[in-house]
Amino acid sequence: MNALHAGKPAILGGPRAVTMDGSEANRWPLLTAEDEAAVLNVIRHGDLSLHPVTRELEDDYRMRCGRRHALAHCNGTAAMLAAFFALNLEPGDEILVPSATHWASVLPMLWTGAVPVFCESEPERMGLDAVDVERRVTPRTRAMVVVHLWGMPARMAELRAVAARHKLKVLEDASHAHGATWHDTPCGALGDVSVFSLQSSKLAPAGEGGILLTDDDALYERAICLGDMVRIAELETPALRFAGTSFGVKTRIAPLSAAIAHVQLRHLDERNAVRNANIEYLSVKLERLGLHTFLSPVDVQRVYFEFLVRYDEKDLGLPIGTLLKALAAEGCDVSWPRYPLLHQQPFFTEGHSARIARTGTPPPEYRPDALPRTEAFSACLLKLPSFPRASRELLDQYAVAFEKILSHAYALGKA
Ligand SMILES: Cc1ncc(COP(=O)(O)O)c(C=O)c1O
């Protein structure tokens, strides 16, 4: 379809491009009789706290990712806390983190006394920028948190090289990247310790749940000691002495959630394939219009927790706010991405983070203008639906909406 055929934008009085109802096309999670049977199975078993399905889920993740250990958690945030705790951090230890991520990639570390040091993300894959990360290494730096944001594997070769040079641990937050691979290695196998969230919107949802993976016996043991009473009691090491207390929190998954996660994981690859095919189909059309859609680079197979595109108003001539209004008028569900940059949040800029971490040293100054490159590219991002079950017709309608609007950029800019 070319601009001539695309017609007048709806915001200028033309017909809406998107006439199909997107609710079925975007329904997620996909729950079927198989999930219902798995939940019923747990209910009929009768033990709602401990059920074999938890270990089955852990085994599936362990095998999928080729890891030695897997430990299921009540959510991804708890799994992140366990991962930080596993690293045996001292108060004041610094961890290099992205600002462009969900807060749970970062904030749980504060309960161990560690200090987040925010780094720039790079605009092509949206993950940590290895050059900027290395610049921020100090004698107190112990680890980095690598996030595969929106399902795009980060630049692991460069980041691992920095980690190796400075003897840093890599904590991989793979919460957006179930089923993605980097150089044929699954996400979830790329960190000293790796975490998945299984929250309801994720690609392999449990409702609420999280998975921690590692090959390191000592890290696994510490993760257990944080808050899994039953597993501590099973240890055959001196850590068994903590069976009467844990380290003060409780982290295990509910088997009802594990049962759903177990079924969902079985369908992960086939459902990722549909979502990927739909988004790639639309991406090719949007790329032709000048948007950057973050298609998989050659060395990775990405997945799409969410579908973000980069729109550069300098190149395309229409302010991004006007584009959003015009897309809404066309019937498109397009919005700003939903994570605010963490380093700009009052929790950090007003000093609350330091009150939790209590390092005894002056808190770092978190300045809202500290990451200009991350800020610049984040301001150009738009979130589209993830189209887990969309028809080609609906995807074509979205493409027409963008095409109509961008081919009338001049008129719309004046409107
Ligand atoms: C990147 C990332 N890490 C961690 C989490 C925390 O997971 P949960 O919501 O399961 O606690 C999320 C949740 O959205 C996330 O997006």
Residues 39-92: tens digit of each pLDDT = 999 999 999 999 999 999 999 999 999 999 999 999 999 999 999 999 999 999
pLDDT at 4 over 70: no
**What sign does the dihedral 303-308-314-315 (CA atoms) show?**
positive
Distance 175 CA to ligand 1 centre (A): 6
Q: At a CB cut-off of 8 Å and minimum separation 6, what does 290 contact?
A: 312, 315, 316, 406
Residue 7 in tokens? 């017609």
Q: How far does residue 105's CA lie from ligand 1's centre (Å)?
A: 7
Report the pLDDT averaged over residues 218-229: 98
What pLDDT digit, counting tens, does each position of 312-368 carry? 988 888 999 999 999 999 999 999 988 999 999 999 999 999 888 888 777 788 999
pLDDT of residue 3: 44
Count Cβ atoms below 10 Å from residue 415 Cβ, excluding itself: 12
What pTM value is reported for the model?
0.97
pLDDT at 361: 77
Please name the residue whose Cα sits nearest to atom 15 of ligand 1: 102
In the chain, the percentage of residues whose pLDDT exceeds 90 is: 92
Q: Tell me the CA distances in angstroms from 402 to 165, 179, 316, 407, 408, one per residue in order.
A: 45, 30, 11, 8, 10
Short-list 47, 28, 22, 27, CA closest to 256: 47
DSSP assignments along 243-265, one per residue: TTTTTS---PPPHHHHHHHHHHH
Residue of the nearest CA to atom 7 in ligand 1? 76
- Please indicate whether residue 414 or residue 143 has the higher confidence score (pLDDT): 143
Q: Which residue's CA is the closest to the ligand 1 atom numbered 4?
A: 104
CA distance 37 to 367: 51
- Spell out the long-range contacts of 337-340 with Cβ–Cβ below 8 A and sequence spacing 24 or more: 337/306, 337/308, 337/378, 337/381, 337/382, 337/383, 338/383, 339/100, 339/101, 339/102, 339/103
Q: Which of 73, 84, 102, 212 to mutate to test the pocket of ligand 1 (most atoms within 8 A of CB)?
A: 102
Q: Which of 5-19, 135-149, 257-271 is least confident?
A: 5-19
